[in-house]
């Protein structure tokens, strides 16, 4: 993928609001961490150990739970984050994530996060916390409606 295309994808996503232009540019140069997937490619496999997370730059993915049959529990679009539970909690993958068409994703690996420019790991972690808080608020609203 060309760096300009990667920058455009990163620049247009709200996930990266608060990142400077220089930081977005830096992330777009991480060619070894920007992956292309094709329809039905398994990006994450439930039960595997891998402490990275992904930011979906383009396309749609299906989040799938195997219990015992394969059930799609969510579809995520560009700007979504997935794989963050294993990244934060340091545990095996709780779901599988499968490309639903052509997909481009930025993979952030634990072992490489400290090699990023100093402010980027903090901003990434802040965004993850923000996302998890929003999910918790949504779940709380759903529970209180059903009580």
Task: Please state which of the ranges 27-31, 47-51, 56-60, 68-72 shows the lowest mean pLDDT.
Answer: 27-31
Chain Cα centroid distance, residue 58:
11
Q: Looking at the whole model, is its pTM more than 0.85?
A: yes
CATH class as words, domain 3-145: mainly beta
Give the H or E element holding residue 143: helix 119-145
Q: Note the pLDDT of residue 2.
A: 79
pLDDT tens profile 77-97: 999 999 998 888 889 999 999
| DSSP string over 96-140 | EEEESSSEEEEEE-GGGGGGS-THHHHHHHHHHHHHHHHHHHHHH
**All structural domains of the chain with their residue ranges:** 3-145
Q: Cα(129)–Cα(110) distance, rounded to whole angstroms? A: 16
Chain Cα centroid distance, residue 83:
6
């Amino acid at each position: 993928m060309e760096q300009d295309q990667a920058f455009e994808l990163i620049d247009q996503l709200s996930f990266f609001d608060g990142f400077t232009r220089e930081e977005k540019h830096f992330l777009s140069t991480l060619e070894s961490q920007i992956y292309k997937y094709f329809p039905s490619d398994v990006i994450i496999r439930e039960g595997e150990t891998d402490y990275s997370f992904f930011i979906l730059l383009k396309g749609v993915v299906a989040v799938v739970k195997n219990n015992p049959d394969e059930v799609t529990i969510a579809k995520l679009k560009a700007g979504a984050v997935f794989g963050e539970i294993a990244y934060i909690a340091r545990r095996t993958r709780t779901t599988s994530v499968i490309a639903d068409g052509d997909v481009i994703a930025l993979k952030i690996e634990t072992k490489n996060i400290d090699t990023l420019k100093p402010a980027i790991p903090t901003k990434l972690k802040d965004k993850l916390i923000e996302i998890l808080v929003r999910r918790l608020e949504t779940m709380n609203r759903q529970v209180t409606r059903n009580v």
